Structure 1
Amino acid sequence: MPGTSHTMQTEANPPEADFNNHLRTAESRNREAAAASPPIPILFLRQKGSPLSASTDDISPTVHSPPAPDKYAAAFSLPIFDSHFLPVLSHDDTINLDALTTILRTRSSEFCAVIATSQRAVGALIRALERCSNQGGTEDKVIATWRTKPVYVVGKATASAALDAGLFTIGGDAGTAATLAEMIIKHGCHGTIQAGNHVQPKHLFLAGDKARDVLPIRLSEAGVAYEQIVVYETKPSATFHADLDNIRLETGAGQRPWVVFFSPSGVDVALEAIRKSPVWGEARVASIGPTTSRRLWEVGLVVDAEAGRPGPEGLMEVVRCALGGRNRDDLP
C-alpha cells in the first residue's frame, strides 16, 4: 500500500536510478577487466537476498522474508569480486507479539509515534497490525489510527519496509541511532499535550533484545518520553562455523580477501571463527557503519573500510578507496 514519506535529510544519497546506472557501468568494466587479475574474495556476513536485511542485518531468513535480488551481490560481482554470503545470526520474531498487538489495539491514544530502528522491528509492527485487521469490528479504525503516526527509522531499507505497509516514516537517511535520536529530540511530538486527557504522549520504541542503548540513553537525557518493548530476539546461527569451513575459493596471488561485518552482534558471534579461518583469518575488514566499527575496534580488529552510509553504494565507495591503486581502473 502506498505511503507518504516525510524523510529528513542528513546526508546526500544517490537516487535509485543513479545506482542502477552505476551497476550497469560496473558490469561493463568488470567484463573488460576479466583477463586482468583473479577476483578478490569478499565475505558478507549476512543473508543473501533477504528484503529484511538490505542494509544492516545479518540474520537468516524466515517465512516472512523470502529470497529477493541482492544489491550487494550485484555491486560486488565477478570478475572483480568473488562474493560469498553467510548469515551469522538467527532470530525469533514472535517475542511479545501478543503484548504488542494489545498495545496497538487498546492504547493507541498514549503514543504519538513509533520508533523502529531495524527492519525486524518494522516487521513486528506489521505482523501485529495484521493481527488487528483479522479481528474484525473496530479494528480497521485502530489500524488507520496507527497509520497517522510517524515511524522513526534508521536507513532507507527500513523506511521502505514501513512505506510498503502503508506507514509513513521519518529518518530514512539517518545513518545511525544517534542521528535519529537528535531528529526525535528536535522534531518529535514529545513537546505537545494530547487534547482531552492532558497526557503527555510517548513514543513506542520497538527494539531487539541485543539493541544498543545509544538511542534510549539520549532520549532519556533529553526528557523524551518513550516505552520500549522487545519484539525480536537474536541468537547465533547454529551452523555458522561449519558453513564458514565449507566455503571454497581459489585465491589468486596477492588477492587478499575481505570480510564485511553488519552488526556488533555479528562481530561477537563470528570473530573467533574468522580469526581461526585459514582463508579469512588475514582478511581485510569492512563494516557497514560506525556502531559496527566501534565493536570491531573494541575487540582489537583494524577496520580497513567503513561505509559512509548503509548499503552497497556506500560500501563500494570505501572498498574502492581502500584498494587504492591496485585494480583501481578496473573497479566500478
Structure 2
Amino acid sequence: MAAKPQLPPTTVFLLKTRSSPTDAYEDLFKAPNDAGSRYAPIFVPVLEHRFVDDGLAQIDSLLTRRQITNGRLQSSTGGKYGGMIFTSQRAVEAFKKVVDGRHASTRENATSSWPSLQDVPIYSVGPATTRALRAIKLEPPLQVSGEHTGNGEDLAHYIQEDYAGWKRPPPTATDGTASTDAERPGPKTDAQAAPLLPLLFVVGEQRRDIIPRVLMGDASESGPPHIGVDEIVVYGTGVMPSFAEDFERKLNETLGSAVRWVVVFSPTGCDSMLKALGLLDPETGRAKDLANRPRTDFIATIGPTTRAYLNDTFGFNPDVCADEPSPEGVMRGINHFMAAWTASQ
C-alpha cells in the first residue's frame, strides 16, 4: 500500500520580533507535536523599540551606587530599593545593555561583584521574560522568580506573598547596631517593624498599572503588606513603519497555503493586520461578517487583553485565545481548533 502523502506544514505568522539567540515559539512550532500537526513559523515584526537613555542612566546609577539592596527602610544597608520587577523582554534587554556596558568598562577589575544583586529578589512574569533574565551572565546569577505567573496581576499577588518573607539582614536598632529582635518573642520594636524597601519596576512607555495598583493598595493588619513601587522607563514602543508592507508581502508569498494562522501578541498593529487579511469593512472600520464564508486564514491571540481589544475596537472575535501566554498555550489552542475545524469539513 502506498504511503499516504504528507500534507505541507501549516503557515503560522508570528507577529513579533524573533527572540535571540533562540525563540521558544519557533522551536516549538518547528518541532513534531503530539497532535500530528506540522507548522512553518514566519516572523513578522510589528513593534519598533528604542531605548530611553535617561532611564538607562538611572538604572546604571542605582546599580553603581548599590542602591538596589537586600534590606529595609531605616536600615544600615542604605539602599533605595529592595528588588526589581520585569514584565517584558524589552525591559530585560535594556537592563542587559546597562549590565554589559558596565562590565565592559570594569573588565580589568576581575574581583568586582557589580551589580551586587545576588541577594536581591528579581521578579519576572512568565517563562520568556524569566529565560531572558537568567541568560544575563552574572556571577553569582540573578535570583529570579515568578516564572509560573501568566500576567501582571498574578505576579503582583505572588510578590505580596514572597517579598515580605525574603531573607534579609537583621533590622538596625536606633543606636545603629544590628537588632536581634527578629528572634525575640513578643511585640516587635520599631526597628524590626520597619517597612520594606520599595521595588523598582523596569518598564516601557506603554504599560498597565496593575502591578503598582495591587502592591500599593490599602494595607491592613490582616491583609497583604503595602509594597512601594517606583517605575523607570527604559524603552519606548511604536509600530514598525514597514509592518503593513512586510505582512502583505508575506501573505502574497504564502497564497498557496491551505490554512494560515496569525498569532497576535499585542493590540499594536491589529488594524493593519486585519486590513491586510481583508477582514475589515473599509467604510465602517469594523470586522466583516464571516458567517457561512469559506476561510483559510485564522487568528489566535496571546491572551485576553488582545482578544478584548479586537472585540471592542473592531467587533472581531479571534478564533483562539491562548489559555496561557506561552508557546505551549498558543499551540494547544490552535491544535484544538484545527481538530474541531477539520472534523467539520
TM score, norm. by length of structure 1:
0.72
Q: Give 1:121's match in structure 2, choosing from 91, 103, 107.
A: 91
5 Å-filtered alignment, 1:60-71, equals 70-71=27-28
Once the two structures are TM-superposed, the CA of residue 149 in structure 1 deviates from its matched residue by 0.6
User: Secondary structure of 2:268's match?
Assistant: helix
Query: What is the aligned partner in structure 2 of residue 298 from structure 1?
Result: 312
Residues of 2 paired with 1:105 and 1:97: CA distance?
A: 12
Q: How far did 1:70 drift?
A: 3.9
Q: What are the Cα deviations for residues 253-303 of structure 1, in whole angstroms up to 9, with x where unaligned?
A: xx453211112xxx232x222222256776322111233323223222212
Greater relative contact order structure (CA < 8 Å, 6+ sep): 1
Query: Superposed, which structure 2 residues align to 1:1-332 within 5 Å?
Result: 34-35=5-6, 37=7, 39-51=9-21, 54=24, 70-74=27-31, 80-95=38-53, 96-106=55-65, 107-108=67-68, 109-136=79-106, 140-144=112-116, 146-165=117-136, 166-189=141-164, 195-196=171-172, 200-222=196-218, 223-247=226-250, 248-251=253-256, 255-263=258-266, 267-269=267-269, 271-278=270-277, 283-299=297-313, 300-327=315-342
SS state at 1:207 partner:
strand
Aligned-partner residue type, residue 171 of structure 1? G
Residues 86 and 33 (structure 1 numbering): CA distance in 2 closer, same or farther, change over 3 Å? Answer: farther
CA distance in 1, matches of 2:89, 2:150: 14
Call closer, same or farther: CA 1:159–1:216 in 2, change over 3 Å: same
Amino acid aligned to 1:250: L
> 1:189-233: per-residue Cα shift (whole Å, max 9, x none)?
399898338564110110111112222222222532111101111
The 2-side partners of 1:158 and 1:129 are apart by 16
1:71-117 deviation per Cα after TM superposition (whole angstroms, max 9, x unaligned): 344469x9843432200011113442111101112223121110011
Q: Secondary structure at 2:329's aligned position in 1?
A: helix
Count matched residues.
276
Contact 1:133 1:139 in 2 (8 A): no
Shift in Å at residue 250 of structure 1?
3.0
Question: Are 1:162 and 1:168, in contact at CA under 8 Å, matched by a contact in 2?
Answer: no
Residues 4-37 of structure 1 deviation map (CA, whole Å, 9 limit, x = unaligned): xxxxxxxxxxxxxxxxxxxxxxxxxxxx8754x5
C-alpha change, 1:315 and 1:34, in structure 2 (3 Å) is farther
Report percent identity of matched pairs: 26
What stretches of structure 1 of length at least 5 have no aligned partner?
A: 1-31, 56-68
- Give the distance between the partners of 1:318 and 1:138, measured in 2 at CA: 49
Asked if the contact 1:190–1:224 (Cα under 8 Å) also holds between the matched residues in 2, the reply is no
- Give ranges in structure 2 of 5+ residues lacking alignment: 69-78, 177-193, 219-225, 281-294
CA distance in 2, matches of 1:239, 1:187: 43
The whole-number CA distance in structure 1 between the counterparts of 2:22 and 2:159 is: 24
The letter of the residue matching 1:154 is: V
**How much has 1:140 moved relative to structure 2?**
2.5
Alpha carbon RMSD of aligned pairs, Å? 3.3
CA change 1:33–1:49 in 2 (3 A) is: farther
Q: Is the 8 A contact 2:29 2:39 kept in 1?
A: no
Secondary structure of the residue that 1:189 maps to in structure 2? helix
User: Contact 2:12 / 2:42 at 8 angstroms: preserved in 1?
Assistant: yes
Distance 1:139 1:280, change over 3 A: farther
Q: Which amino acid aligns with 1:181?
A: A
Deviates more, 1:197-206 or 1:277-286: 277-286
8 Å CA contact retained: 1:286, 1:304 = yes
Q: Give the residue type in structure 1 aligned to 2:198.
A: K
Amino acid at match of 1:89: L
Report the alpha carbon displacement of residue 311 of structure 1 after superposing the two structures with TM: 2.5
